[in-house]
A = this chain, B = another copy of it.
Amino acid sequence: MKKVKRTTIYDIAAKLGITASSVSRALNNSSQVNEKTRELIIKTADELNYKRNTLASNLRKGHSKTIGVVVPRINQNFFSNVIAGIEETTYQKGYNLIICQSGEVHDKEIQCVNTLINQHVDCIVISVSADSYDYQHLQNVLDHGIQLIQFDRVAEELETLKVINDNEQASFEAVSHLIENGYKRIALLEGPQNLNIFRQRKNGYLRALETHKVKVIDELVVENAWTKELGAEATRKLLNLPHPPDAIFASTSDFSALGVLEVANIMNIKVPSELGICGYSNEAFTEITSPSITTIDQFSVYMGKTIGNLFFQEIASIEVSVKPKIISIKPELIIRGSTAKKG
């Protein structure tokens, strides 16, 4: 690439025989510049193909008009949707997004956060990685006076803004739905319990059983069945039990539920009559499996928009909000073919 000397406000000023101050003011719609000179300046800026150097501007102004986002994986449906939502609301207010992925690795997450602090972003939006064990780096964000918004997977002990799903309630409704449809032995595929979202989903499961006076059976609760493969593996074990379950709630993801469905097909176990299946996330494919999979929609794009709006609302309020604000979005149970049994 050839090095191009980009035109600055000084170039414009020189050409017009005025000061950079005036140019700056004209370009910022300051009222203390004559309308005629403003027009002239804008015209000249245009001719010279001037583009403001945002770095210099931000340095002087003390902020970056930039929001940092840290997610485990950019190319995971839920996260890319949330990001799209954030982008939509923030872009129109002149903010840019810097995106990092932690790859579910704690150390990289720390790195990402530090990079963003270095960038002097105005806000960091984060969903912590699965193996996060402490939150010093997040505290650090706060210490630097940077707004912090946690979403979905949050460190509950940190008093920050949070946008979450009501996982507990969603799980409760899903499992209640299974019970009401006649399923009696409902297994749970659970995720890493260090993540709050998975704890909440388990709690919802337990509460639903309790509410409907269904006994909890320990051997029907399987840890860490996060992926399709792990979901499949767990299902094989469950269905080979002396008393196999008649429904499986894959609280980790729809991928896990897909694994369940495939194993059921292979083992020639009929869904939904012999086995009910419920996933989590409302991935696109859940609609088109046969039978289609009952799941839970998290309104991910909406969640992103909520995050963006929350940020603006927060910087607009002069007063520091004393208590941490938590916005909880209620997910929706999408009932489909995989849970159609009526006992």
Name A residues whose Cβ lies closer than 8 Å to a Cβ of B.
1-4, 6, 49, 51-56, 58-59, 64, 66, 73-75, 77, 80-81, 83-84, 87-88, 91, 96-101, 114-115, 117-120, 140, 143-147, 258, 262, 283-285, 288-290, 301, 314-315, 320
What is the CA–CA distance of A97 and B74 in the complex, to the nearest angstrom? 12
Give chain B residues whose Cβ lies under 8 Å from the Cβ of A64: 55
With most chain B CB atoms within 10 A of its CB, the pick from A75, A80, A147 is A75
Picked from B87, B101, B258, the residue with its CB within 8 Å of the CB of A74 is: B87
Picked from B81, B87, B301, the residue with its CB within 8 Å of the CB of A99 is: B87
User: How far does the Cβ of A119 sit from chain B's closest Cβ, in whole Å?
Assistant: 5
A to B CB contacts below 8 Å, 9 in the list: A1-B147, A1-B320, A4-B143, A52-B118, A75-B80, A87-B99, A96-B98, A97-B99, A288-B288
User: How far does the Cβ of A88 sit from chain B's closest Cβ, in whole Å?
Assistant: 8
Q: Is the CB of A146 within 8 A of B1?
A: yes
Give chain B residues whose Cβ lies under 8 Å from the Cβ of A284: 283-285
- Chain B residue with Cβ nearest A96: B98
- Chain B residue with Cβ nearest A146: B1
What is the CA–CA distance of A116 and B262 in the complex, to the nearest angstrom? 46
What is the CA–CA distance of A177 and B114 in the complex, to the nearest angstrom? 51
With most chain B CB atoms within 10 A of its CB, the pick from A55, A114, A262 is A55
What is the CA–CA distance of A106 and B114 in the complex, to the nearest angstrom? 35
Q: Is the CB of B119 within 8 A of A100?
A: no
Q: Is the CB of B120 within 8 A of A75?
A: no
Give chain B residues whose Cβ lies under 8 Å from the Cβ of A290: 290
Picked from B59, B87, B115, the residue with its CB within 8 Å of the CB of A96 is: B115
A75-B301, A100-B96 are known contacts. Are A118 and B53 too (CB-CB below 8 A)? yes
New A-B contacts (18) at CB < 8 Å, excluding given A6-B145, A54-B120, A56-B59: A1-B147, A1-B314, A1-B320, A49-B144, A51-B118, A51-B144, A52-B118, A55-B64, A55-B120, A59-B59, A75-B84, A80-B80, A84-B101, A87-B101, A98-B98, A98-B99, A284-B285, A290-B290
